[in-house]
Amino acid sequence: MGAAQPPEPPAVDAAEATAVREALVRQIAAEGGFDGDPGWRAAFEEVPRHLFVPYYFIGTTTGFERLWGEDPDPGRRSRWLRGAYADTPLATRVRDGELISSSSQPSLMARMLVELGVRDGDAVLEIGAGTGYNAALLAYRLGDELVTTVDLDPEITESARRHLEVAGYRPTVVTGDGALGCAERAPYDRIIATCTLTTVPRAWPAQCSAGARILAPLATGLIVLEVRDGEHAEGRFLHTPAYFVPLRGGNREAEWEPYIGGLPRRALHSELFRFLLTLTRGVLDPHEALALWQREGRPVRERFGVTVSGQDVWAWLDDPAGPYTWPLP
């Protein structure tokens, strides 16, 4: 028997698909999304996002509405296709009314890939397979054999693998706990996470080569760590805000209300203050965090950083040696 053939991609209007994909790429470029590494523009031009989101959900007043590429209504199929190339995140997996997987906003993906700073020949580990789209972009740029993507949920990895096959890419897709990395494919020159963390797993630097880079959403920001060796990594946050599904799934927004009770409305409306609250949660009382934020002149994200040293991981403001440092769990 011959090798199994990948499933057929959903039937779409090829001209419309090309037009909306080109429009998305132009929009990302116009906003500076490829600045610093224009090589990523070709990846976004060539990898068709709609093959990775054969269906997705949009929020409504009563829950979620499902759009899919094989809808018998041509108007709804066109709506699905145009939505697949909108510069917005797409909810791709909902369980019991809770979002557990999504396809990230393309312009944010582009900025993250640029900041990852890949070079030809780099081996990359992606934490959070999602739809497989980000892994496809990496595989286009670096080659299948240098890309590994891992996710805890076997339904997600199986779906990502199918999408990748349909699009013609075959990076290594692993079902496993992303917090543990993927030791059998190490060492890595780059690690990129597409799910929000509460700390930096110590397994990640240990699976990196010296001089590697780790980029991950932490709190509501993006941390970029330079790896000195398997025991040490350090870096600062980018200015870019970032909101992703948590590493282990779940929706923690509901826990905010009792935690932030009594804080001034003006402070809570500040995205930067909420970043500090999230970063120091469990260490600083919310009112202590507010006092620090005001005393230090409402610090921007780039003043904060993270250090990994042996078994210790901590966040800091301005200087990893203090006076403002907070252990991460």
**What is the per-residue pLDDT across 178-193, written as a single tens digit (0 to 9) for each?**
999 999 999 999 999 9
149 & 231 share domain: yes
Is residue 5 in a domain? no
24 and 85 in contact (C-beta within 8 Å)? yes
232 & 258 share domain: no
**318: domain range?**
253-327
What's the CATH number where 156 sits? 3.40.50.150
Number of domains in the chain: 2
210 & 282 share domain: no
Percent of the chain with pLDDT over 70: 91
**Statement: residue 289 has pLDDT above 50:** yes
**What is the per-residue pLDDT across 104-114, written as a single tens digit (0 to 9) for each?**
999 999 999 99
Confidence band, pLDDT 50/70/90 cuts, at residue 125: very high
Place of tokens 């900025």: 111
pLDDT of residue 254: 39
Is residue 246 in a domain? no
Residue 55 to residue 50: CA distance in whole angstroms: 9
How is residue 245 written in tokens? 């599904």
Is residue 202 in a domain? yes
**Statement: residue 6 has pLDDT above 90:** no
64, 68, 302 from 57: Cα distances, Å: 6, 9, 34
Is residue 167 in a domain? yes
Is residue 244 in a domain? no
Confidence band, pLDDT 50/70/90 cuts, at residue 2: low
pLDDT of residue 258: 41
* Domain boundary, last residue among 194, 209, 236: 236
Determine the straight-line distance between the first and last CA of the chain, rounded to whole angstroms. 51
> Could you give the strand order of the β-sheet that contains 188-193, starting from the edge strand earlier in sequence?
172-175, 147-151, 124-127, 188-193, 208-218, 221-229, 232-236, 304-309, 312-317, 325-327
Confidence band, pLDDT 50/70/90 cuts, at residue 3: low
**What is the per-residue pLDDT across 157-170, written as a single tens digit (0 to 9) for each?**
999 999 999 999 99
159 & 190 share domain: yes
**Statement: residue 1 has pLDDT above 90:** no
pTM of the model: 0.90
Is residue 127 in a domain? yes
36 and 114 in contact (C-beta within 8 Å)? yes
β-bridge partners, 217: 222
Residue 301 to residue 165: CA distance in whole angstroms: 39
**Statement: residue 312 has pLDDT above 90:** yes
278 & 188 share domain: no
pLDDT of residue 178: 95
113 & 262 share domain: no
**Closest CA relative to residue 205, chosen from 223, 219, 279:** 223
pLDDT of residue 281: 87
Give the mean pLDDT of 314-322.
Answer: 96
Average pLDDT taken over every residue of the chain: 90
Question: Which residues form the catalytic set?
Answer: 101
Place of tokens 């990523």: 40
pLDDT of residue 329: 80
pLDDT of residue 251: 40
167 & 311 share domain: no
Give the mean pLDDT of 30-50.
Answer: 96
172 & 42 share domain: yes
Amino acid (one-letter) located at 172: T
193 & 269 share domain: no
Which of these ranges, 3-17, 216-230, 289-303, has the smallest mean pLDDT? 3-17
Confidence band, pLDDT 50/70/90 cuts, at residue 282: confident
**What is the per-residue pLDDT across 220-255, written as a single tens digit (0 to 9) for each?**
999 999 999 999 999 999 999 998 877 754 344 434
- Rounded to the nearest 10 degrees, the angle between the axes of helix 39-46 and helix 133-142 is 130
> Could you give the strand order of the β-sheet that contains 55-60, starting from the edge strand earlier in sequence?
63-68, 55-60, 90-95, 98-103
Is residue 69 in a domain? yes
Q: What is the DSSP string of 239-303?
A: S------BTT----GGGHHHHSTT--HHHHT-HHHHHHHHHHTTTS-HHHHHHHHHHTTS--GGG
